[in-house]
Chain A
Amino acid sequence: MSAEVSVPPARRSITASPIFGKIAASLVALFISFLLGALLVLALGESPLEVYGLLISGSLVGMPNFLVTLQMMSPLIFTGLAVAISFRAGLANIGAEGQMLVGALCAGYVGYAVELPALIHLPLCLLAAFVGGLVWALLPALLRVYLNVNEIVVCLMMNPIALLLTGYLSTRVLKAPGPTNKLPDIQPTAELSTFSLFSQANTGLIFALVLCLIFAVVNVRTMRGFEWQMIGKNAKFAYYGGVDVRRRALTVFLVSGGIAGLAGAEQVLGQYRAYYDDFSPGYGFDGIAVAMLAQFNPLAVPLAALLFGALNGGSAVLQMMTGLSKHLVQVLQFIVVLVLAAKLSWDWLKLGRSQTAAPGSDPPAEGPHVTAGDR
Chain B
Amino acid sequence: MDLIEIAFSAVRVSTPLVFAAMGGLLSYQAGMLNIALDGFMIIAAFAAIATAHFTGSLELAILVAVLGATMLSALLGVFTLKLNADVFIAGIAIIFMAYGLTALLLKGILGEDGVFMSSAIPRFPTLDLPVIESIPVVGGIVSGHTLLVYIAWLLVPLVAWCLYRTRWGLRVRMVGEAPEAAAAAGVNVDSIKFQTMLLSGVLCGFGGAYLSLAYVSLFANQMTAERGLIAIAAIFFAKGHPGWTALVALLFGLATALSVRLPQVTGAAPQLLQLIPYVVTVAALIIVGFRTARSRSKHGAWKFGWN
By a beta-carbon cutoff of 8 Å, the part of chain A in contact with chain B is 40, 44-46, 92, 94, 139, 143, 145-150, 152-154, 156-158, 160-161, 164-165, 167-168, 171-172, 235-236, 239, 245-246, 285, 288, 292, 323-325, 327-331, 333-335, 337-338, 341-344, 347, 367-375
Across the interface, which residues of B come within 8 angstroms of A333, CB to CB? 96, 100
CB interface residues, B 225-276, toward A, < 8 Å = 225-226, 229, 232-233, 236, 269, 271-272, 274-275
A161 and B280 alpha carbons, distance in the complex (Å) = 11
A329 and B269 alpha carbons, distance in the complex (Å) = 34
1/0 contact trace for B293-307 toward A, CB 8 Å?
100100000101111
Across the interface, which residues of B come within 8 angstroms of A328, CB to CB? 100, 104
A94 and B92 alpha carbons, distance in the complex (Å) = 9
CB interface residues, B 18-68, toward A, < 8 Å = 33, 35
Q: Are A330 and B96 in contact (CB under 8 A)?
A: yes
Given contacts A172-B269, A235-B306, A338-B90, contact A325 B104 (CB under 8 A): yes
Q: Are A44 and B108 in contact (CB under 8 A)?
A: yes
Across the interface, which residues of B come within 8 angstroms of A146, CB to CB? 289, 293, 305
Q: Are A330 and B307 in contact (CB under 8 A)?
A: no
A368 and B111 alpha carbons, distance in the complex (Å) = 44
Across the interface, which residues of A come within 8 angstroms of B101, CB to CB? 40, 327, 331
Across the interface, which residues of A come within 8 angstroms of B269, CB to CB? 168, 171-172
Given contacts A150-B33, A342-B85, contact A168 B103 (CB under 8 A): no
Q: Are A239 and B304 in contact (CB under 8 A)?
A: yes
Q: How far is the CB of A138 from chain B (nearest CB, A)?
A: 12
Q: How far is the CB of A298 from chain B (nearest CB, A)?
A: 19
Q: Are B108 and A337 in contact (CB under 8 A)?
A: no
A-B pairs with beta carbons under 8 Å apart, 21 shown? A94-B92, A145-B305, A147-B292, A147-B305, A148-B296, A148-B306, A152-B88, A157-B285, A246-B305, A288-B92, A323-B107, A324-B107, A327-B101, A330-B99, A330-B104, A331-B97, A342-B79, A368-B84, A369-B84, A369-B86, A374-B306
Asked if B124 is an interface residue, CB under 8 A from chain A, the answer is: no
Q: How far is the CB of B23 from chain A (nearest CB, A)?
A: 16
Q: Are B104 and A40 in contact (CB under 8 A)?
A: yes
Among A337, A344, A371, contact of B93 (Cβ-Cβ < 8 Å): A337
Across the interface, which residues of B come within 8 angstroms of A172, CB to CB? 269
Across the interface, which residues of B come within 8 angstroms of A341, CB to CB? 79, 85-86, 89-90, 93
Q: Are A161 and B89 in contact (CB under 8 A)?
A: no
Q: How many residues of B contact A (CB 8 A)?
A: 57
Among B84, B104, B304, B306, contact of A331 (Cβ-Cβ < 8 Å): B104
Across the interface, which residues of A come within 8 angstroms of B154, CB to CB? none
Asked if B94 is an interface residue, CB under 8 A from chain A, the answer is: yes
Shortest Cβ-Cβ A-B pairs, 3 listed: A147-B289, A330-B100, A325-B107
Across the interface, which residues of A come within 8 angstroms of B302, CB to CB? 236, 239
Q: Are A342 and B293 in contact (CB under 8 A)?
A: no
Asked if B109 is an interface residue, CB under 8 A from chain A, the answer is: yes
Q: How far is the CB of B91 from chain A (nearest CB, A)?
A: 8
Q: Are A156 and B226 in contact (CB under 8 A)?
A: yes
Q: Are A160 and B84 in contact (CB under 8 A)?
A: no
A292 and B106 alpha carbons, distance in the complex (Å) = 27
Across the interface, which residues of A come within 8 angstroms of B285, CB to CB? 143, 149, 153-154, 157
Given contacts A331-B100, A341-B79, A372-B88, contact A164 B274 (CB under 8 A): yes
A209 and B292 alpha carbons, distance in the complex (Å) = 42
Beyond known contacts A152-B91, A157-B233: 15 more, CB 8 A cutoff: A40-B104, A147-B293, A148-B289, A148-B293, A149-B285, A153-B229, A164-B274, A327-B103, A333-B96, A334-B93, A334-B100, A341-B79, A341-B93, A344-B84, A371-B89
Across the interface, which residues of B come within 8 angstroms of A245, CB to CB? 304, 306
Across the interface, which residues of A come within 8 angstroms of B293, CB to CB? 146-148
Closest to B305 in A: A148
Across the interface, which residues of B come within 8 angstroms of A337, CB to CB? 89, 92-93, 96
Among B79, B105, B233, B292, contact of A338 (Cβ-Cβ < 8 Å): B79
Q: Are B90 and A164 in contact (CB under 8 A)?
A: no
Q: How far is the CB of B292 from chain A (nearest CB, A)?
A: 7
Asked if B113 is an interface residue, CB under 8 A from chain A, the answer is: yes
Given contacts A157-B278, A343-B85, contact A236 B307 (CB under 8 A): yes
Asked if B281 is an interface residue, CB under 8 A from chain A, the answer is: yes
A157 and B285 alpha carbons, distance in the complex (Å) = 10
Given contacts A145-B305, A164-B274, contact A288 B96 (CB under 8 A): yes
Asked if B279 is an interface residue, CB under 8 A from chain A, the answer is: yes
CB interface residues, B 97-143, toward A, < 8 Å = 97, 99-101, 103-109, 111, 113
Across the interface, which residues of A come within 8 angstroms of B275, CB to CB? 161, 164-165
Asked if B220 is an interface residue, CB under 8 A from chain A, the answer is: no
Across the interface, which residues of B come within 8 angstroms of A164, CB to CB? 271-272, 274-275, 278
The interface centre, meaning the residue of B33, B271, B285, B304 with most chain A CB atoms within 10 A of its CB, is B304
Across the interface, which residues of B come within 8 angstroms of A246, CB to CB? 304-305
A153 and B235 alpha carbons, distance in the complex (Å) = 12
A46 and B89 alpha carbons, distance in the complex (Å) = 31
Across the interface, which residues of B come within 8 angstroms of A372, CB to CB? 86, 88-89
Across the interface, which residues of A come within 8 angstroms of B113, CB to CB? 325
Across the interface, which residues of A come within 8 angstroms of B296, CB to CB? 148
A275 and B262 alpha carbons, distance in the complex (Å) = 29
Q: Are A373 and B86 in contact (CB under 8 A)?
A: yes
Q: Are A157 and B282 in contact (CB under 8 A)?
A: yes
Q: How far is the CB of B220 from chain A (nearest CB, A)?
A: 13
Q: How far is the CB of A57 from chain B (nearest CB, A)?
A: 20
Q: Are A375 and B107 in contact (CB under 8 A)?
A: no
Q: How far is the CB of B98 from chain A (nearest CB, A)?
A: 9
A156 and B89 alpha carbons, distance in the complex (Å) = 13
Among B83, B107, B288, B304, contact of A344 (Cβ-Cβ < 8 Å): B83
Across the interface, which residues of B come within 8 angstroms of A334, CB to CB? 92-94, 96-97, 100
